Amino acid sequence: MARLRVIEILGGPLDGRKIVWDPEIDCMAWTDGAHSYQHAIDEIWTGKRMRIVMRHVATVPLPRRDK
């Protein structure tokens, strides 16, 4: 069974939120209905150690259905 961790999301509309994450998964996509926000695992040097975060890498507009 995977060990879950709490990681922070940096950038995009979810900026600053902390989520429970499986470290074996290295990417995530979140949709708000108009856009798909893509995030990828990254590391940040905090001065004493490396911290794993989920960094916003792309915003993709979803196709619109015209009536």
pLDDT tens for 5-42 read 999 999 989 999 999 999 889 999 999 888 999 999 99
Contact 46, 55 (CB under 8 A): no
pLDDT in tens, 48-65: 999 999 999 999 999 887
According to the model, what pLDDT value does residue 67 have?
A: 62
**Alpha carbon distance 17, 55 (integer Å):** 11
pTM of the model as a whole: 0.81
Is the distance from CB of 3 to CB of 23 less than 8 angstroms?
yes
Domain residues of the chain, as ranges?
A: 5-61
